Amino acid sequence: EVQVVESGGGLVQPGGSLRLSCAASGFTFSSHWMHWVRQAPGKGLVWVSRINSDGSSTTYADSVKGRFTISRDNARNTLYLQLIGLRAEDTAVYYCVRGSSYYDSTGFYLGEVFDYWGQGTLVTVSS
Amino acid sequence: QSVLTQPPSASGTPGQRVTISCSGGSSNIGSNTVHWYHQLPGTAPKLFIYSNDQRPSGVPDRFSGSKSGTSASLAISGLQSEDEADYYCAAWDDSLSAYVFGPGTKVTVL
């Protein structure tokens, strides 16, 4: 059974730091791109960051660029998100999400889909 | 302000057909496939439609997706009480180099 389980959330003061972890199981972790998506209380989904399967390429939303760092340890089947310089607007549930590529009938790459989501870990930034 | 636009709410009585729209632009829906995610209160989102109109296993065939130009839609036919949830559209945006989500549509069964 595919599972992704987040941890590391909590209450932190503005300007503080946190490291989120995501333990993956039930699939070949090193074959999948992985993502973080967040959801502020009562709000919609916002994509935060992604990392390719071997960790050599990362992408970030403009709102977190320079403050958040995504990384992975394929030997430990674990995804990370380092958060620094936290702001009140970073308060949200952070979801770890598996990405899966899909193709058309001729084998042409069509894109990536978020097919498994963790239950999320809540980060609260407040003094 | 979301890059993708969705109505905040949609509703219908049991058995009715409900359609949710998702409008974007040439850099997202216009040039990439659209996915739909379903979220029950207090739970994680779940993939419901991918690549515009494909249903993952386990998703009832009452749900269907379509795309035309820079817009997409999700249709729920034979509406059931268990369909009450928030529905989000999403796509990759080539200009932003980021995945973008719509603001979500809350479906209510009257």
The string of pLDDT tens digits covering residues B56-98 is: 999 999 999 999 999 999 999 999 999 999 999 999 999 999 9
Identify the closest residue of chain B to A61 by CA–CA distance: B98
Q: What are the chain A neighbours of B105 within 8 Å (beta carbons)?
A: none
Q: Which residue of B has its CA nearest to A47?
A: B99
- The tens-digit pLDDT sequence of chain A (127 residues) is 999 999 999 999 999 999 999 999 999 999 999 999 999 999 999 999 999 999 999 999 999 999 999 999 999 999 999 999 999 999 999 999 999 998 888 998 888 899 999 999 999 999 9
**B60: distance to nearest CA of chain A, Å?**
16
d(CA B99, CA B91): 6
A94: nearest Cα among A113, A79, A112: A79
To which residue do tokens 């069964």 refer? B109
User: What is chain A's length?
Assistant: 127
**Residues β-bridged to residue B108:** B11
What's the CA gap between A28 and B66, in Å, rounded?
A: 31
Q: How far apart are CA B2 and CA B71, in angstroms?
A: 14
Strands B71-76 and B18-23: antiparallel
Q: Cβ of A52 under 8 Å from any chain B Cβ?
A: no
Across the A/B interface, how many CB contacts are shorter than 8 Å?
58
Query: Is the minimum CB–CB distance between B75 and chain A shorter than 8 Å?
Result: no
